[in-house]
Amino acid sequence: MKKKKSKGNTKKQKSLEERMAQELRTVWRRYSPERKKALASRKVRGVAGGFLCQWCNALAIKPNVDVDHIVRVGTRPGSRNAISGETDWNGWIERLTVGASGLQVLCKCCHKYKTKEESK
């Protein structure tokens, strides 16, 4: 009986962690001054929403622009593809909130490619 109960709790906790990771990423995207700094450094003057991709150097126009963490953040602690079995949030949050020098502005295409390579 006890086993059944704890199984149910684990399931609930997992989805809570998923949501926490998602919300933290959203807050980072909206409010991180470091993210804004990284974007500003790649802004193309005179082109609305235009940025230079740091990989292919092509002009990317929003929303085709992503800010990438050079060091992979990982889905979330405890997830299947978390970084080397990481289960605690401190390292994850630290990587998420890295300084502007730990970020790069990429076009969607390059970012997609990088993310795919990292999850291999």
Q: Which is nearer to Zn ion, 16 or 61 (CB)?
A: 61
Q: Residue 2 has which token pair?
A: 């006890």
Binding footprint of Zn ion on the chain (CB under 5 A):
53, 55-56, 107, 110
Beta partners for residue 69, in sequence order? 103
Q: Which is nearer to Zn ion, 76 or 104 (CB)?
A: 104
CB of 106 to Zn ion, least distance (A): 5
Q: Which is nearer to Zn ion, 68 or 92 (CB)?
A: 68
CB of 31 to Zn ion, least distance (A): 25
* All residues at 6 or more sequence positions from 108 whose CB lies less than 8 Å from its CB, including other chains: 60, 63, 64, 65, 66
Of how many residues is the chain composed?
A: 120
**How many contiguous H segments (helices) and E segments (strands) does the chain have?**
4, 4
CB of 114 to Zn ion, least distance (A): 9
